[in-house]
Chains A and B, each alone.
Chain A
Amino acid sequence: MSHDHDHDNELDPFAARVRALETILTQKGLIDPAAIDVIVDTYETKVGPRNGARVVARAWSDPAYADWLKRDATAAIASLGYTGRQGEHMQAVFNTEETHNLVVCTLCSCYPWSVLGLPPVWYKAPPYRSRAVIDPRGVLEEFGLTLPKDKKIRVWDSTTELRYLVVPMRPKGTEGWSEEQLADLVSRDAMIGTALAKQPE
C-alpha cells in the first residue's frame, strides 16, 4: 500500500469531500488543479495585510496621498499596485481623536482581500458578525482594546460591494520614520478596527 493511499484513509470526512469534488471537476475538465495551486500561493505568499500596511504608512507620510485615499481609495490603493478580487471598490476610513472605526460584514464575510488578504476565521464566524454592530465595545475588549468611554464608535457593515480599510491614527514618537518602519506598526487588526497601531518601542 502506498503512502498516498494510507494518507487518503486518514482524511477526515470533510477533507475527503473536498478532494472528491476537486477530482470530479478535474476529471470533467471543468477546473485546472494547477490553477488552484496558483490561487493558494497567491494568498499565502503575495496578497496579505502587508499591502494594507503600506497604504496606511504612505497615508501617514504623505498628506496629498492621504487626501487622495479619502477621496478615491480604489485609485490611490491601485497606485501602489494593489488591485483586484474583493478590492474592486475600496473606501478608506480614518480614525480620529473623536471616532474609532470598526468594519464587519454581518451578512457574510466581505473583506478587502487586495489589501488584507484572506480574512481570519473570527471575522467570518457568528460571534464577531453578530456582536460587532450591537456591542462593539465588548468585542473590542476581547481583543484587549478598551476605548475611552467618550470615544465615538462607528461600525461599518459591509453590505454591498464596497470594501473598507481602516486607517489607524499614527502613533506619537514616529516623526521622521520611513514608510517601511511605519508599516511595521500597522497590523491586520488595526486595519479592521479591532486594534490600534502599535506603539514604537
Chain B
Amino acid sequence: MNGPQDLGGQMGFGPVAPEMDEPYFHAEWEKRALGVTLTAGAMGAWNIDESRHARESLHPADYYASSYYQIWIKALEVLLQRHGFITQSDLAAGKAVDPAATPKRVLKAADVPAVLAKGGPCDRPVATPASFQAGDRVRTKNFNPTGHTRLPRYARGKNGTIEAVRDGFVFPDSNAHGKGENPQWVYTVVFDGGEIWGEGADPTLVVSIDAWESYLEPA
C-alpha cells in the first residue's frame, strides 16, 4: 500500500541527527515493548508480513508522530484484537476482562535463547526455475496495490539490471493477508541513480532493491 512507511525519496523530515553513544533503550517501557512484541509474536497467530502491514496501516499522522517502538505497540494492539486475544474492554480496563483465543504456544523464558538463535528463516523451495539471470535487463512493475507490498514507490516502473539471483522466499504480498506463502524467486536489482531520480540525480549513485519475481518483467 502507498502508506506512510514507504519513505524512500520523501522530503521534509529534516536532518538524521545521529546520537553519540546511543543506548539500546531510551526508557524502561521500550524494553517491555520489545519483549511484549516478540513474545506475542511467538504465539504464532500472525507472521512477520502481517505485522509489518499492521504497522504501515496506522494512520499516516499517527505513524509519523510515533517512535518505532510506539508504532510496534499500536500495531500489536490491532493484531491482538484481530486474532481474538484482547478486546477494547481489556484495553479500557487495563486488565484482563474478556476471555482470549488459545495461542499455538506460549514462549517460556527457558526457551528464549534457542528461539532467538533459530530465528524464522523464510527461504522456501520454488517449483519453477528462476525466470531471470544475472545481467538480464528488467523493468519493475508499475502498480499501486491497496494491500501489503515490498516494492517501494520510488522503484516502480523503473529499468534495472539483475545483479544476483538469490533464493526462493515467502511472498509477503500474499502472506501478509493470510493468502499463503506462495514462495517466489528473489533477485537483487540495481538501478542507476538517474533512472530513479532523474534530473539532478547524483551521477555516482547506484541503488539496489531486492525484488520478488512477480515485481519484475523483461525490459
Contacts and interface: CB of A to CB of B under 8 A. Distances in A.
A168 interface: no
Interface of B: 5-11, 13-19, 22, 24-29, 31-36, 38-40, 42-43, 52, 55-56, 64, 67-68, 70, 73, 76-77, 80, 85-86, 90-91, 94-96, 100, 103, 106-109, 111-113, 116-123, 150-152, 154-155, 166-167, 169-170, 186, 188, 190, 196-197, 202, 204-212
Interface stretch (A21-29, A52-60, A171-179): A21-29
A154 B208 contact: yes
Contacts of A87: 119
Contacts of A153: 202, 204-206
Contacts of B8: 106-107, 129-130, 133-134, 157
20 contacts: A18-B32, A24-B90, A30-B106, A36-B31, A36-B35, A36-B36, A39-B116, A89-B169, A106-B8, A108-B55, A120-B22, A126-B64, A129-B7, A131-B16, A154-B208, A157-B155, A159-B152, A159-B210, A160-B210, A161-B169
A122 B16 contact: yes
Interface of A: 11, 14-25, 27-32, 34-40, 42-44, 47-48, 83-89, 106-109, 114, 117-118, 120-122, 124-131, 133-137, 139, 142-143, 149-162, 189, 194
A140 B112 CA distance: 37
A150 B24 CA distance: 36
Nearest to B51: A108
A126 B107 contact: no
Contacts of B33: 18
Q: Which of B56, B64, B116, B202 has the most CB of A within 10 A?
A: B116
A128 B211 contact: no
B108 A35 contact: yes
B18 A194 contact: yes
Given A118-B24, A121-B67, A130-B9, A25 B116 contact: no
Given A121-B67, A134-B8, A25 B197 contact: no
Given A14-B70, A27-B96, A130 B18 contact: no
Contact of B96 (A28, A88, A106, A189): A28
A87 B120 CA distance: 9
A42 B39 CA distance: 14
A136 B205 contact: yes
Contact of B39 (A36, A107, A150): A36
